[in-house]
Amino acid sequence: MKVLKTKTPMPEQPVEERIRNFDEVALGYTEEQALIEASRCLQCKDAPCIKGCPVNIDIPGFIRLIKERRYDEAIKKIKETNNLPATTGRVCPQENQCEALCTLKRVGEPVAIGRLERFVADLELKKGIEIPKIEKKYNKNVAVIGSGPAGLTVAGDLAKKGINVSIFEAFHEPGGVLIYGIPEFRLPKRIVRAEIEYVKNLGVNIYTNVVVGRTITIDELLKEYDAVFIGTGAGAPQFLNIPGENLVGIYSANEFLTRVNLMKAYRFPEYDTPIKIGKRVGVIGGGNVAMDAARTAIRLGAEEVHVLYRRTEEEMPARYEEIIHAKEEGVRFNFLVAPVKFIGDENGKVIGIELQRMMLGEPDSSGRRRPIPVPNSNFFFPLDMVIVAIGTIPNPLISMTTPDLAISKHGTIIIDETTGKTSKERVYAGGDIASGAATVINAMGAGKISARSIIKYLLREN
Amino acid sequence: MFEILEKKILAPGVKLIKVKAPLISQKALAGQFVVIRVYDKGERIPLTIADKDEKEGSITIVFQEVGKTTKLLGKLEKGEYILDVVGPLGKPSDIDKYGVVIGVGGGVGIAALFPILKALKSCGNYVISIIGGRSKEYVIFKDEIENIVDEAYITTDDGTLGRKGLVTDVLKELLEGRKIDRIWAVGPTIMMKVVSDVTRPYNVPTIVSLNPIMVDGTGMCGGCRVTVDGKIKFTCVDGPEFDGHLVDFDELLLRLKTYKEEEMLALKTLEESEANRIESFKD
Ligand SMILES: Cc1cc2nc3c(=O)[nH]c(=O)nc-3n(C[C@H](O)[C@H](O)[C@H](O)COP(=O)(O)OP(=O)(O)OC[C@H]3O[C@@H](n4cnc5c(N)ncnc54)[C@H](O)[C@@H]3O)c2cc1C
Ligand SMILES: Cc1cc2nc3c(=O)[nH]c(=O)nc-3n(C[C@H](O)[C@H](O)[C@H](O)COP(=O)(O)OP(=O)(O)OC[C@H]3O[C@@H](n4cnc5c(N)ncnc54)[C@H](O)[C@@H]3O)c2cc1C
Ligand code: SF4
Ligand code: SF4
Ligand code: FES
């Protein structure tokens, strides 16, 4: 049999249209396309792809079921280990995970595992998600703090086991980065809401508007709950700490994306939260967050959007697909430049940035070549809006108010990686709060580990 | 959903509401605030907790109707609901026994000053209040404050109540006359700036409660950042109270104007909308 060397392409919204709306860019496979793609899988015995998936989905297993058109069973197979497949199928960096290890890469492109996962997950969402029967209820109560992928995974797994779970979320809407960070055009909010609805239907209570550390403390929760899981993410934005950073028109990516996604500023004035949008927008950074901010700015009507990155395209941490999409949509890339200071007018509005040229030196601890400044290379780059997307760190609210919780010098909560246990009795943690900013699926993987050890601890079983 | 238990009009465009929020009520300390969202398309805005009643499980908010959100809030009646209330946010005021303390309050800031003065008084300080407004009807919380302080002064721009002039006129006289150990100033940004300028030569520690534009109020957006002593601070987690002598007020005043055009547009759409009122939240 001849193997198809390339992935079945996924239909996309045409560029001219999509830059004027916030609808999803990638439209998903039709049944026919999914069947063609599923037929590419070699059903390898050793299935290297599974090792690349942080939650070890039985990938050949679910793909075989697609091939046999047993879609209901395919999604069940995925859901054995992944509660949020419509999300991960869309946003996992598959090229570094499951697909990176696919045998087919030796002859061409890997199987489009993520797209197939999304296909069956979307089918299920259309039909209505089936809620598994919970065999037995236990009189055990767990509090989960934060409703991002880590918290939702812990909650889902514990609830399926028959343990009572309450999630406490600071924002008015659950979902974490999936709701406030990743834009609608990459991950429609109706998908996230449906996946959250599923977790609720498993019996999980979600209390929004509760800031743990302020509204209630970990120690108070421990009085009422048998165990506590902290999944509060790494949501605090970092700034460059250069002159002029508080000028009007300079946003953290978090603020910009929160206004647009969570508060729906792209529909102002129908929604009340405003957003400023410049004619020439600069986005500082080279990761997924920078790509999301740049593509959002394009959609809001900016005339020019410039990504400013210290290294070169090769070192950019953003997903390849996102860089391609951004380029197609007209985002311009400026490599080997670093901001020195922001310049404003007499009203305190940003009018530009002083940049310094960089060149690449020896590789650093991350293995990427380190940028070093080129002397006397500073120049002025006019901009009327800037989005700073250089990373986020954990919010200190919980560590500030829980003195006996061990924290690393990066502000992350220190855990035992194999159990999710923190230094504090009955308190577990996982996701970005423990690892630093990472990925959705890693947060879910960490959630699984904690759920398993909480179950072991509470029910004294394996 | 948070029920409005009581509503009062304190001055033209200034309203007081008592909101049922038991968890917040148990925790709230002087100087802290809540973030509210009135309805599902609404903006998140910060408002200070002016008082609380733990038994009833309520908090009191006093607000001035300046734009769309505060106007919508002002239209809600007793028995109706606010969609989201989250808090208490921010660091509580640093309450201690300092000696002689002056609280300077202007406009709605007077209500925000009230719990701070109450806490300072119960801590054994000699508390002096200077509160002011445009004219008589804008001086709110007069009786509440006079009931708890040792000495009370009032100023109005037009002289219809208390002394004609500014709060800082009285402040200067007091600073000349005796030793003052600490000052709290809560009110319009410009007032806090002037108070800080007035007290600087006297070297009296001056605490101000800043009110930048906020989104989350929990430290995740950075929109509320201010420059204090040359460093970036997030008002919602590092503040809202800071040493007034170190705050870059001019920068804050400019940042507050960020959305001027949008705020006007929002207000215009509200005034033009037929119902001129959001769907009320009744259970
Ligand atoms: C713009 C953007 C794009 C991204 N794109 C991708 C992508 O394409 N693919 C990918 O795999 N990853 C992506 N990531 C990373 C990914 O979203 C995160 O790694 C993941 O969401 C981490 O999950 P979490 O559950 O640990 O935390 P979060 O998703 O951050 O959720 C934490 C939750 O806890 C809440 N919380 C915080 N503090 C408190 C408190 N004190 N009390 C109560 N609640 C609290 C927060 O409000 C939040 O809802 C992206 C991130 C961003 C910001
Ligand atoms: C920690 C904190 C505590 C606060 N406590 C109170 C309080 O107890 N009572 C009260 O009435 N207000 C308080 N404010 C101010 C209040 O949040 C704003 O008045 C409100 O956000 C205005 O929203 P709006 O949609 O009604 O008006 P908008 O249309 O957003 O603004 C209308 C006008 O108000 C100005 N403005 C906007 N935001 C602010 C702001 N944050 N502070 C000052 N002026 C602003 C604008 O420049 C504009 O001129 C507080 C602010 C902070 C940060
Ligand atoms: S969850 Fe992510 S890594 Fe795992 S199979 Fe799905 S797309 Fe691949
Ligand atoms: S490695 Fe690739 S081809 Fe082999 S089973 Fe996994 S997905 Fe199929
Ligand atoms: S309001 Fe967002 S960080 Fe302070």
**Nearest-ligand number for the alpha carbon of A49:** 4
pLDDT in tens, B232-248: 999 999 999 999 999 99
pLDDT of residue A1: 54
CB atoms within 10 A of CB B165: 14
Helix orientation angle between A59-67 and A113-127, rounded to the nearest 10 degrees: 60
pLDDT of residue B265: 87
pLDDT in tens, B16-71: 999 999 999 999 999 999 999 999 999 999 999 999 999 999 999 999 999 899 99
- Total residues belonging to chain B: 283
Is A347 within 8 Å of B254 when comparing Cβ atoms?
yes
Binning pLDDT at 50, 70 and 90, where does residue B274 land? low
In the stretch 180-239 of chain B, residues with CB closer than 8 A to chain A read 215-216, 218-223, 225-227, 232, 237
Binning pLDDT at 50, 70 and 90, where does residue B96 land? very high
Centre of ligand 2 from the C-alpha of residue A156, in Å: 39
| Residue B166 in this model has a pLDDT that exceeds 70 | yes
pLDDT in tens, B169-185: 999 999 998 999 999 99
Rounded Cα distance between A376 and A105, Å, is 45
Rounded Cα distance between A43 and A66, Å, is 12
| Residue B281 in this model has a pLDDT that exceeds 70 | no
Atom 20 of ligand 2, residue of closest alpha carbon: B45
A chain contacts of residue B257, beta-carbon cutoff 8 Å: 248, 347
Centre of ligand 1 from the C-alpha of residue A180, in Å: 8
pLDDT of residue A2: 65
> Collapsing DSSP states into helix, strand and coil, what is residue B36?
strand
Instruction: Answer positive or negative: Cα dihedral of B240, B245, B246, B247.
Output: positive
The stretches of A162-213 forming alpha helices (DSSP H) are 177-180, 189-201
Residue B112: C-alpha distances to residues B116, B118, B249 (Å): 8, 11, 19
> Collapsing DSSP states into helix, strand and coil, what is residue A60?
helix
pLDDT of residue B280: 44
pLDDT in tens, A149-172: 999 999 999 999 999 999 999 999
Is A59:A110 a contact under the CB 8 Å cutoff? no
Cα dihedral: A408, A424, A213, A433 (round 10)? 40
Sequence-distant (6+) residues with CB within 8 A of B60 are: B16, B17, B18, B19, B49, B50, B51, B52, B53
Is B184:B48 a contact under the CB 8 Å cutoff? no
Rounded Cα distance between A429 and A423, Å, is 10
Atom 34 of ligand 2, residue of closest alpha carbon: B66
Position of tokens 């080279």?
Answer: A286
| Binding site membership of A292 for ligand 1 (Cβ less than 6 Å) | yes
Is A276 within 8 Å of B258 when comparing Cβ atoms?
yes
pLDDT of residue B277: 56
Write the DSSP string, B156-196: ETTSSSSEES-HHHHHHHHHHHS---EEEEES-HHHHHHHH
Across the A/B interface, how many CB contacts are shorter than 8 Å?
116
pLDDT of residue B271: 79
pLDDT in tens, A215-252: 999 999 999 999 999 999 999 999 999 999 999 999 99
Beta bridge partners of residue A207, listed in sequence order: A168
Is B57:B25 a contact under the CB 8 Å cutoff? yes
Residue A335: C-alpha distances to residues A251, A286, A312, A365 (Å): 21, 9, 5, 21
Helix orientation angle between B260-272 and B68-75, rounded to the nearest 10 degrees: 40
Average per-residue pLDDT in chain B? Answer: 93
Burial class (CB in 10 A: 0-12, 13-18, 19+), B10: buried
Is B13:B65 a contact under the CB 8 Å cutoff? yes
Q: Which amino acid is at B236?
A: C
pLDDT of residue B276: 53
Is B130:B104 a contact under the CB 8 Å cutoff? yes
Tell how strand A164-168 and strand A385-388 pair up: unpaired
Shortest CB distance from A248 goes to which of B215, B218, B258? B258
Tokens (6 digits) for A260:
């647009």
| Residue B116 in this model has a pLDDT that exceeds 80 | yes
- H or E stretch including A206? strand A205-207
Averaged pLDDT, A68-92: 93
pLDDT in tens, A348-407: 999 999 999 999 988 888 788 889 999 999 999 999 999 999 999 999 899 989 999 999
Binning pLDDT at 50, 70 and 90, where does residue B215 land? very high
Centre of ligand 3 from the C-alpha of residue A88, in Å: 6
Position of tokens 């500023």?
Answer: A265
Q: Is B84 on the interface with A (CB under 8 A)?
A: yes
| Residue A462 in this model has a pLDDT that exceeds 70 | no
A chain contacts of residue B29, beta-carbon cutoff 8 Å: none
Tokens (6 digits) for B217:
């109020």
Q: Which amino acid is at A41?
A: C
pLDDT of residue B279: 54
